[in-house]
Amino acid sequence: MVLAYDFYKAFWLLNPKLSKEKFLEIVGANKGYSLDMFTRIHNSIYSELIDVENEYEKYYSFEYKTFEVYLFKKYNLEFKEIKKLIKKKNKFPNCKIYRKDDHSYGDYSIPTFITSETMYKRITKILKQEI
């Protein structure tokens, strides 16, 4: 699940234990263009992730009563979006909620491709897999 909260910034629900090697194995990329493209996709997703749950516990739990209130007040998310995010998180307990700047990787076309209509469900399904 990818949930945008500002220009080129989003929350990502993904499995932190999904290594690049396992990701490439799942997508079946082992040489040539597919290996290059899916390596770039993995690197783009996993570069400069910030663990939002850990950030809340470490720095903001004294200021905000709950994680949900933190998401609402700090990131201006709507409650229905927060509920959807938490519901997905509970459905996939092996996953964590991260935030990232879509342009932190430097290749601006990759985030657009990842969240395109044809790729979004495929990529997010892989990112939630239990390892």
Q: Is the dihedral of CA 14, 15, 19, 24 positive or negative?
A: negative
The pLDDT tens digits for 34-67 are 999 999 999 988 888 999 999 999 999 999 999 9
Domain that holds residue 89: 2-127
Instruction: Work out the number of other CB atoms within 10 angstroms of the CB of residue 98.
Output: 21
The pLDDT tens digits for 24-43 are 999 999 899 999 999 999 99
pLDDT at 128 over 80: yes
Question: Which neighbouring-strand residues pair with 3?
Answer: 11
Domain total of the chain = 1
pTM of the model: 0.84
Taking the chain, what is the end-to-end CA distance rounded to the nearest angstrom? Answer: 17
